[in-house]
Each structure stands twice: as C-alpha cells, then as structure tokens.
Amino acid sequence: MAGNRRLTQNDIAKLAGVSQATVSLVLNGAPATLARIPQETRERVQRVIRTTGYVADPIARRMAKGLNRILGVFTYEPAFPSEQADFFAPFLLGIEEAAQQQNYDLLLLTSAGVGGNRKIFSEGNRLRIADGCLVLGREFDRKELARLVAEDYPFVAIGRREDAGGPVPYVGGDYAAATRQLVEKGRALGHMRLAYIGPDGPAESIVDRWRGFASALGEGTELVLHVNDVNRPAGEILDAILGSGATAAFFIELADAVRVEALARERGLSVPRDFSMIVLGSHIRASRSPVRFTSYTIPREEMGRQATAMLVNRIETGSAGDQILLTCDPVEGETLGPAPSNLPRLGPAIRRI
C-alpha cells in the first residue's frame, strides 16, 4: 500500500480477491456463519491479514460487535515514576485482577499530556476506543469530571469525588471515619492538645481526613497547632509541635512523619514517650523508616477491584453506578502512647503556620 495510510477491510478484500463483507465475516462472524464460507477463502483472507499486519479498526469493531471489551485507565499523575509508584501500584493491581476476571483488556491513557497538563480530553485522546474509563489521582480536573458526567460516558472514579454537576460514581476509602477513630483513641489515652500537620483541602481525600479529625474534637480537646502544608522542613515542624505543647501530632503524609521522628531521635526525644505521632493513612514504603507508625490501612487493591467491577456493570447494563466508601482498618503501630503528664499548660490560642 502507498504511503502510511491505514489499511482498511476494503484493502484486504481487494488483495484477497473477495468482497469486503467476506472479510468482515472472517474477522467478526459467528462460527455458524463462518462455516458457510469455504475454508480456502477463509485461509486466503487470514493469510493476507497476517502478511499485511492488518489490525481491525477498534471503532469499527465496536460498531459491529457493540463492545471492544477495553477499559481505559487515566491517572492525573504519572503512574510509574518512583515518587508516585507506591501510591498507584496497588490500585493498578486490583484493576488488572478484576479486568482479567471480567475478560476485559486495559488501555492506559498515557498520551494525555505531561505534568500538570494531563487531561482526559486532550487533543487526539483515545478515550473513545475504550468502552469506559477508570479515573484516579490525588486531585481531579473539575471541568473534565463535569464533562464526563454531562456526556454520560461510562466512568468510575477511584476515590470520593463531588462537585461535578451531577452524581459521580466512585469507590473510595472512608477516611473520615478512620481518622475520627484514631483521634478518639488518642483522647482515650489522655491526649487533649493536638497538632495537625497537613492541609484541610481541596481534594476530597484531604477534606475527609480533616472532617473526621475536626468532628472528633470533643469537650476539653484543643487543636493547638495546624501546619497547613506538607513537606515543610522537619526542624520547623518539630519546633512548632514542641512549642505548642501538643501531646499528639496527626500527619497527612508519612514522609513528613518519618523526617520529624528521625529528627526527634537525634535531639534525644522519644516517640511516644515525649509526644505521640499518628499518620492518617497507610503507605507502601513504610519500611524506609525503622518505626511502625500508628495509622490505618487504605484498601487500595480492593478499591481498584470494586471500581472495575462497577465500571463493567455500567458498560454492560447502562446503570448509573454507585458511591461506595470502604472501611479503613486501624494499624496499631508503636507511635501512640499515653499523653505525658509533665507538659506545661499553655494558652488556648491555636497556632497556624
């Protein structure tokens, strides 16, 4: 064939000396239909297909058979570089397992831009090749989410998502309930002056943690320090915790907790003897630290499995999908102990840095 033009079924038909309809039947026909085509003809068509390397247009096959049995997977952050791999790998394991069970292939949408410019609806995107799409990331593009809802394209978000002009089908973790449980456990151990290290939004997973934390602040419990950011210098965070008189510090990010605990040991402090540390969610590479932090699990693989099953159900039945939050089980750890009784009583003012 001249140039780089994509081969069509009509091209294959001309090369094989048959009609385009015969080529279509060889590619897509049921066994009973194929039996009516002479074996020599079938073999000739298949030989031309093998020789030319022809691959059927997935859109045309979708029109012919209804479904490609392909699920798209889109992430707003790169799925495989080292700094993100631990976050996405369990989701992808669950997605792959469920897709295999449902007899679907996966299409990882990697041509959607780089960095902060990754878009589902990027120019030349291949979203429509897939029968539906799983969308995951720490933060979503609200306009793209609203467009998916408005166009009624089959998709399921991994993680709770709102504010999309309509209900968003999702499978997420119940971070609010799990965080509240940890705060209540701390209160039972006498911790009444608490620090919170991390933002309170805007992503739903962050909002849910903050909501669970704030809802557990009962009578006599004070939030004495809020570091409304992540990745601050360890010395800055540790000095702020000690200066506030907090007896327990709750961390959004494991990396912050690891650095602060290591610096505390360098200064001769002991966790949880001098103050307790709690991490709001499990992380894959906790082995980077010799300390097992008190935390809770995030059922990432199960979220991937259930989201995939929900998407297949949407594709095959036309259902609207559900909104599911899975339980995050507590991790005992070794960084939460009784509140020290020798700390000075400070004023009630909250510090925010």
The mean pLDDT of 15-30, rounded to a whole number, is 79
Fold exhibited by the domain 9-58: 434 Repressor (Amino-terminal Domain) (1.10.260)
Report the range of poorest mean pLDDT among 54-68, 69-83, 232-246, 337-351. 54-68
Q: Which residue has the higher pLDDT, 352 or 265?
A: 265
Q: What is the pLDDT of residues 277-289, one digit of tens each?
A: 999 987 655 456 7
The mean pLDDT of 226-235, rounded to a whole number, is 95
Q: What is the pLDDT of residues 46-104, one digit of tens each?
A: 899 888 877 666 555 544 556 889 999 998 877 765 555 577 889 999 999 999 998 99
Asked if residue 172 has pLDDT above 70, the reply is yes
Domain-by-domain residue ranges, the chain? 9-58, 70-168+301-327, 175-294+332-352
- Do 70-168+301-327 and 175-294+332-352 agree at the fold level? yes
Asked if residue 347 has pLDDT above 70, the reply is no
Cβ proximity of 195 and 249 under 8 Å: yes
Domain covering 175-294+332-352 in this structure, CATH number = 3.40.50.2300
- This prediction has a pTM of 0.78
Asked if residue 2 has pLDDT above 50, the reply is no
Q: pLDDT at position 353, please?
A: 79
Q: What CATH architecture is 70-168+301-327?
A: 3-Layer(aba) Sandwich (3.40)
Q: pLDDT at position 295, please?
A: 96
Asked if residue 22 has pLDDT above 70, the reply is yes
What band does 270 get if pLDDT is binned at 50, 70 and 90? very high
What band does 158 get if pLDDT is binned at 50, 70 and 90? very high
Q: pLDDT at position 140, please?
A: 85
What band does 342 get if pLDDT is binned at 50, 70 and 90? low
Asked if residue 238 has pLDDT above 60, the reply is yes
Cβ proximity of 278 and 295 under 8 Å: yes
Q: pLDDT at position 338, please?
A: 97
The Cα–Cα gap between 286 and 148 comes to 36
Q: What's the mean pLDDT when you consider all of the chain?
A: 86
